[in-house]
Structure 1
Amino acid sequence: MATRLPPVHALSAFEAAARLGSFALAAEELCITPSALSHRIRLLEEFVGERLFLRDGRAVSLSEFGRRYLDVVRAALRTLTEFPMPHRSAPAQPRIKVTVPPTFARYLLVPRLGDFTRQYPDIVLELFLSVPLYDLALSESDVEVRFGAGNYTDTVTEKLFEEPTFAVASPAYLEKIGGLEQPSDLARATLLRSALEPWQPWFEVAGLDWPEPSNALRLDDLGLLLEAIRHGYGVGLTRKHFVQESLERGEVVHLFKDVELKTPPHAYYVVYEPQARVRPEVGAFIDWLRKSFGRL
């Protein structure tokens, strides 16, 4: 039976926090966010089955078990650090962990990443996906792009861009239901739903006193929503940068071109904790995001 070992990144977080007497200072030393450090400490506490720190507001101190365990951890880390490695390679490249929504990653970020890698060839990017409106913790990411209302506490939040929302449908679906000439004709259409693109704000702009639809297919991913529209499952709301290629290929049709929601309730934001920007590679990526997407 394999022996379970404590995660080394959690051990180093524990040692740094105990030595510095502060989660914030330990996070800064390890170049991670305080929430990421807290996550690592909790992970280690779950592993050992004991409290390592006593928390009193922002102040932390070692528990009795934590003091005893610290001696063992320091000895283990010292052994690993001092082991001679004559062929050890040069220091690792700077890395940035970035969490982004799937549709933003596919349609907007990845097509532009070549510009960043040309400017900063020594920086390694690690991309992870998050679910908009649900995955709201920074976890162990250095930078996040979030799609939402922008109300994120205890973080630096900067709007990247917003763009109008409008209705689209596939030509096959329009032929099936006999066309749509004006917004009120949507009464005989299937309205595809998404928490990311609610219909009611668009209804108000269109002069329709209708409630939010409660039937039909719901897809809480903008890319999947667009796919459902392309496949003729109904009418949906979308935005220019996602649907542009489908419009050019004739896969979908822009409906009611004089009706657009200019300021939809959700936009894209870059989110990070203040101390993360101190790292040059993180600051460079945030500046690149703002420059690349701020002019869309």
Structure 2
Amino acid sequence: MSLHKDLPPLLALRAFEAVARHLSFIKAAQELSVTQSALSHQVQKLEQHLGKPLFIRRTRAIDLTAEGQRYYDEIRPALDAIATATRAQRQMPSATVLRVGLLASFATLWLAPRLAGFLNRYPHIQVELLPSIQLANVAAAEVDLAIRYGKGDWPHVQATRLMAEVISPVCSPTFKANSLGNGPLLMATSHRPFEWTDWSQHYQVSLEQHPRVMLHDYNIVVEAAVAGQGIAMGRHHLIQRRLQDGSLVQAFDWPPYHSDIGYWLITPQGPAHQAVECFSQWLREICADA
């Protein structure tokens, strides 16, 4: 059964509360920015709705009747609760959509499992991950910010290094035992082969005898290596679980290489809006602990 039919006119209720609190039509009218006549009319409307007087009107003062005092005591907590709820809603930030450009491999293997921490801290910010092998154009506002993998040499943007990557060639245990000698190198078409170039130059190793297999994305590279299809350049931040469960192992005897390749936070030049600042700060924090 609806209770709406029992509700008094809300303007009249507001007028009554103000007059009862001040015990003055003059002060209540000033607070509500209405004339005394309009305020008196609303109070009379409430009295008619209830079928009883709520105030004792004297020449220079007013007071609540016993019924008026009881009614005021009963409705005041409800009005306070409405005011509190309204204030909270007005102060609550409106939902903001934050568009983040990044590689699908970083989104899948590293960021997505950690994203709940950001959403718990900033529930009003809706994060939209936009994975692509293409480098999203931050400067042209295709995305609000981006996370890129490389050496930080992108023009017309602000690049902040989040964490360096540790790299080493990896493969499945079976592939290492049976096919390592001239096994194919699995590479992602989303990147120039600078990882392999840096690693081979560091250890002065020639890779000319190894054929190359170009795959669309690093996620596919990892899965192909796990399936025994060749040797992948392992990005240790992304394949940690695979190394721990033994589905990938070091292909060669050289230790992992601490390169200058890493993950970078890319934001537009100039001031950033609040959602970008919040996400950037959170991202720097969790990368520092990685």
217, 231, 236: which one aligns with 1:235: 231
User: What's 1:110 paired with?
Assistant: 112
User: What's 1:135 paired with?
Assistant: 135
Q: TM-score, normalised by structure 2?
A: 0.60
Task: Give percent identity, aligned residues only.
Answer: 25
Instruction: Give per-residue Cα distances to partners, 1:3-54, cap 9 Å, x unaligned.
Output: xxxxxxxxxxxxxxxxxxxxxxxxxxxxxxxxxxxxxxxxxxxxxxxxxxxx
Q: Is the 8 A contact 1:201 1:261 kept in 2?
A: no
Relative to 1, partners in 2 of residues 1:226 and 1:251: Cα closer, same or farther, differing over 3 Å? same
Distance 1:97 1:212 in 2: 43
User: What's 1:100 paired with?
Assistant: 102
**C-alpha deviation, 1:141, in angstroms:** 1.0
One-letter amino acid of the structure 2 residue matched with residue 204 of structure 1? Q
Q: Is the 8 A contact 2:231 2:251 kept in 1?
A: no
Q: Is the 8 A contact 2:168 2:234 kept in 1?
A: yes
Distance 2:266 2:209 in 1: 29
The runs of 5 or more residues in structure 2 that have no matched partner are 1-88
Distance 2:122 2:137 in 1: 27
Relative to 1, partners in 2 of residues 1:212 and 1:115: Cα closer, same or farther, differing over 3 Å? farther
The runs of 5 or more residues in structure 1 that have no matched partner are 1-88, 181-185
One-letter amino acid of the structure 2 residue matched with residue 206 of structure 1? Y
Helix, strand or coil at the partner of 2:213: coil
Relative to 1, partners in 2 of residues 1:110 and 1:283: Cα closer, same or farther, differing over 3 Å? same
One-letter amino acid of the structure 1 residue matched with residue 122 of structure 2? Y
193, 201, 214: which one aligns with 2:198: 201
User: What's 1:269 paired with?
Assistant: 264
Distance 2:209 2:129 in 1: 34
Higher strand share goes to which structure? Answer: 2
Distance 2:171 2:194 in 1: 15
Instruction: Give per-residue Cα distances to partners, 1:251-284, cap 9 Å, x unaligned.
Output: 12123353322215x321111113452x222211
158, 161, 164: which one aligns with 1:162: 164
Distance 1:222 1:276 in 2: 33
124, 127, 130: which one aligns with 1:125: 127
Q: Is the 8 A contact 1:142 1:272 kept in 2?
A: yes
Q: Is the 8 A contact 1:160 1:293 kept in 2?
A: yes
Instruction: Give per-residue Cα distances to partners, 1:230-265, cap 9 Å, x unaligned.
Output: 11111121122222211222212123353322215x
Q: Report whether the alignment pairs 1:256 with 2:258.
A: no
